[in-house]
Structure 1
Amino acid sequence: MQTTLKTSVEFKGIGLHSGRPVRMTVRPAAVDHGIIFHRTDAAGDDAYLPALWHMVDQSPLCTKLRTETGVTVSTIEHLMAALAGLGVRNALIDIDGPEVPILDGSAAPFVRKILQSGLEAQSGASLAIKILRPVEVAHNGAVARLEPDSGLFIDFSIAFEDAAIGTQSRSLNMRNGAFVRTLCDSRTFCRQSDVDAMREAGLALGGTTANAVVFDGDLVVSPGGLRHTDEPVRHKMLDALGDLALAGAPILGRYIGVRAGHTMTNRLLRAVFADPTAYEIVECDPETTYSLPGAGVSQGDLALCA
């Protein structure tokens, strides 16, 4: 069984890095369509960008898709996490600019509207990518690893000098509505020094304390403080789910991230798919389907987010 949306949902906002206004509509799509972005302000076949690992243009600050002719869509990770966490396999995403709207900096606004729209089961076979042996990439103290497991599990740990962040770790079985209940409302975060550096580089032009949690030493600068005491590591897990969704199908395996980011997760996917002995494509039986993110999820799961 595959899943799509019952009706189209629209989002309006600004891009985190570009600061430009953008309108985006997530539409239902047919069986085996996959997740595809459509730049409505571009022409020809290059206006369509499949959300797949080999389309990623390496970027440390966000996940960006790029065609060979340079058409891009960036900051897709929160939307991709929402779709993966809800079990949505097929969607066409019309967008009139180069960056997905940041909204509140989490995946919750996407989750909320999509759940309100409703999800529709489709008759196509549900496939998954089963990890057969451990695969790991490492760089400058950051590690991303996939190893065999019965469902999708995410283990993540971070360490920052800022006392307000410090060292955090969390593990989560992503089955059913776990993403919606535990991770989806956790916002992107940064340090005040990073904000200053990005602004000088012409980035984060749309970033505010309304769409990102800003830390400065032992202070949480953003009004209202944190939604969770470990909100930063939860957001890193959210990002990881969105980036893993670019595999093109749910992963049956355990993802372990240590100070990892978008680039490391994409390098990990590239390493997996470069080795045919590391994985196999399997058709999900009912038990496996029930173990995947999104199975049986409901609006009640969002209400339980804590």
Structure 2
Amino acid sequence: MIKQRTIAKSVDSVGIGLHKGKPIKLRLEPLDVNSGILFYREDQGVTIPLHPDNIVDTQMATVIGKDGVTVSTIEHFLSALYAYGIDNLRVVLNDNEMPIMDGSAASFCMMLDEAGIEEQSAGKRILRIKKTIKVSDGDKYVSLHPSENALFDFTIRFNHPVIAEQHRRFIFSKTNFINEISRARTFGFLKEVQYLRSKNLALGGSLENAIVLDDNKVLNPEGLRFDDEFVRHKILDAIGDLKVLGMPILGEYKAFAGSHDLNHKLTVALLKEVDAYEVITLKVNESLSFAKSFA
């Protein structure tokens, strides 16, 4: 049987918040079986369980909240939790956003490596897709389809010479995530950054934690980490957004020009269609490849 996971010991880090530009303390703590992922704002004394019902904003990032207390930009962190198969964890913060780190999930993977992974006594719950669910906005869409493999298929199209159209089909596993997805950084356009800063947002944004483009080129002196870093980061975001469901998905995710907002609507639509999925506890011999994907 595939077992639930937490971390073996608590770990701490400090990083800059994307929007406020201030240092944020982050601590990860182990939790017992069937606890799920809990965000704890120690400055407010409020615990926010990870669940689609608690997503309160998806305009610029995925934001979780409860009783007026929020935590922003959780998606990069959640993608690392998904890849490492973490089911139970307390995330302690002293402000209203996750540290942006370098704009990817790599720093969070390093934290999890430092903490170590502990297998727990209870079986791991898997969300198996039984029928197709699709959410659209014009020609943009995100969808989930039945499959015996965990796949992410994403296409983006931007009217920009560096990006244009990019497509990637990603076969999920922890190893593949670390090698192919975790280092892909978030990206933005210089004119958008200037507008956000005029609104006192993105104050912590820099070439150290995002790919920034003007009308023609990448402004980061080191250039891109991958030729298709943009679509890889969109897959990273999608994995994090689906982690809000609290368990890994056995199925195929497909998207064209997907977003945090569409991903959230997809999780809500899926949970409403009770015949579209089943929650199962997989024995290893039932899906050996899926079990191996978290090795």
TM-score normalised to structure 1 length: 0.92
1:231 and 1:191, CA in 2 relative to 1: closer, same or farther beyond 3 A? same
1:140 and 1:19, CA in 2 relative to 1: closer, same or farther beyond 3 A? farther
Which residue number in structure 2 is paired with residue 304 of structure 1?
Answer: none
Report the AA paired with residue 41 of structure 1.
D
Determine helix, strand or coil for the equivalent of 2:122.
coil
Give me the whole-angstrom Cα distance separating, in 2, the residues matched to 1:239 and 1:292.
23
Which residue number in structure 2 is paired with residue 101 of structure 1?
Answer: 99
Contact 1:239/1:262 (8 A) holds in 2: yes
Which residue number in structure 1 is paired with residue 117 of structure 2?
Answer: 119
Aligned equivalent of 1:37, options 33, 39, 56: 39
**What is the CA-CA distance between 1:164 and the residue it aligns to?**
1.1
Spell out, residue by residue over 1:152-209, the C-alpha distance to the aligned partner (whole angstroms, 9 max, x if none).
2100011111111111010011034211111001110011122122222322111001
Residue 19, structure 1, aligned to residue 17, structure 2 = no
**What is the CA-CA distance between 1:295 and the residue it aligns to?**
1.5
Structure 1 unaligned runs (5+)?
297-306
1:180 and 1:51, CA in 2 relative to 1: closer, same or farther beyond 3 A? same
**What is the CA-CA distance between 1:118 and the residue it aligns to?**
1.2
Report the AA paired with residue 34 of structure 1.
G
Which residue number in structure 2 is paired with residue 299 of structure 1?
Answer: none
Residue 48, structure 1, aligned to residue 47, structure 2 = yes
Residue 263, structure 1, aligned to residue 226, structure 2 = no
Give me the whole-angstrom Cα distance separating, in 2, the residues matched to 1:85 and 1:292.
12
Which residue number in structure 2 is paired with residue 163 of structure 1?
Answer: 161
**Aligned sequence identity (%):** 35
Once the two structures are overlaid, the 10-residue window that deviates more, 219-228 or 111-120, is 111-120
Which residue number in structure 2 is paired with residue 280 of structure 1?
Answer: 278
Give me the whole-angstrom Cα distance separating, in 2, the residues matched to 1:292 and 1:50.
26
Contact 1:179/1:293 (8 A) holds in 2: no
Give me the whole-angstrom Cα distance separating, in 1, the residues matched to 2:156 and 2:212.
16
Contact 1:165/1:232 (8 A) holds in 2: yes
Spell out, residue by residue over 1:126-161, the C-alpha distance to the aligned partner (whole angstroms, 9 max, x if none).
111111110101113320101101132100011111
Contact 1:125/1:283 (8 A) holds in 2: yes
RMSD of aligned residue pairs (Cα, Å): 1.3
Determine helix, strand or coil for the equivalent of 2:99.
coil
Contact 2:11/2:114 (8 A) holds in 1: no
